[in-house]
A and B are shown apart, each in its own frame.
Chain A
Amino acid sequence: MKILIIIPAYNEEGSISSVIADIRQHVPDADILVVNDGSRDRTEQLAEAAGARVLTLPYNVGIGGGMQTGYIYAQRMEYDIAIQMDADGQHPAKELPKLIAKVGAYDLVIGSRYAETTSYRSSRMRRLGMLFFSGLVTLVTGQRFTDTTSGFRAAGRKAIDLYARYYPIDYPEVESIVYLKRSGCRIAEVSTEMHRRKAGRSSITPWKSVYYMVKVTLAVLMSAMRYSRSAVSRP
């Protein structure tokens, strides 16, 4: 089993080294690919020094474009599993075996903060937004999801191919679930621990969160109309 761990990073010099070290300690067989999305700090040098492969994009293409670069790479190099992880240290590498174990039986495995009670706490507004998206995705796909905004995921070959073909450009997490589900993929959630970020700040400001809600809701509804259930059974 060839495993690739994709870490999209934009100005993450404060945490990238420890994230890579954490992965190498818990999953030594996996290859680590840092997609450096036009960082202006020392992210590239630090990631290389820590032993990761680094793809440096010439300018900032946004989280979706960077993530997809990783999936295209995984497809070309014929990896069996591609795992996406945040560069800020939210996702503990000790939880990786839980995700990996389920790939094969499922095309996409999502690490969820809420599937069972974990120690993760977030603000009330944030929880409300997440509840809304869980409801929306559940409505559109007919499967219950508890953590649709989680960026801690493992993808099998079918999901890698689909993501190499299409991946949403900004705020991709929610829509990318609907896209896979509607394309006939089997998706599972597993409960994982998550930390508060070690460095950096959330990119979501109050104004951006309004754009986030509207954009993602529109994208989910469009995606639901684009990939009809009838197309699901086709290979």
Chain B
Amino acid sequence: MSIYAFSIILAFSFLVLVLELVRRQKLREQYSLLWILFSVVLVIVSLNVSFIEWIADRFGVKYAPAILFLFGLLFCFMIILHLTIVVTKLTAQVLRLTQELTILKERDSLHGQND
């Protein structure tokens, strides 16, 4: 099996995997969009190798696969940044919930004494 056929199969299975995760609700639609975009690009690139060479040529890059690594890396950074934004939001929400719960608990015990 040539590397071309291999990468096409790999890209397609990745797209199917992401869609399957969404279908099984293991991955939220909201967070799946970046991954779907990524796998679609992967499919396009593996179907059409000259596309990468064309971009490399336009940027004046002599070693065409370097373009792949560059964009792959940039995509990883984007996903990680996105994740830390989500974590920040979740941390704030968990803290607020904890605070509300703690205050409710104390009020509850006060009411218990009055009854």
Q: Is B48 an interface residue (CB 8 A)?
A: no
Interface residue count for B (Cβ, 8 Å)?
9
Q: Is B102 an interface residue (CB 8 A)?
A: yes
Q: Is B115 an interface residue (CB 8 A)?
A: no
Give the chain B neighbours of A56 by CB distance below 8 A.
102, 105
Q: Is B32 an interface residue (CB 8 A)?
A: no
Give the chain A neighbours of B102 by CB distance below 8 A.
55-58, 69
Q: Is A212 an interface residue (CB 8 A)?
A: no
> What residues of chain B have their CB less than 8 Å away from a CB belonging to chain A?
95, 98-103, 105-106
Q: Is A186 an interface residue (CB 8 A)?
A: no
Q: Give the secondary structure class of A's interface.
A: mixed
Interface residue count for A (Cβ, 8 Å)?
15
Contact between chains at B103 and A58 (CB < 8 Å): no
**New A-B pairs, 12, CB < 8 Å, besides A57-B99, A58-B101, A73-B106:** A55-B102, A55-B105, A57-B98, A59-B98, A61-B99, A65-B95, A65-B98, A65-B99, A68-B99, A69-B102, A72-B103, A76-B103
**A46-78 with Cβ < 8 A to chain B:** 53-59, 61, 65, 68-69, 72-73, 76
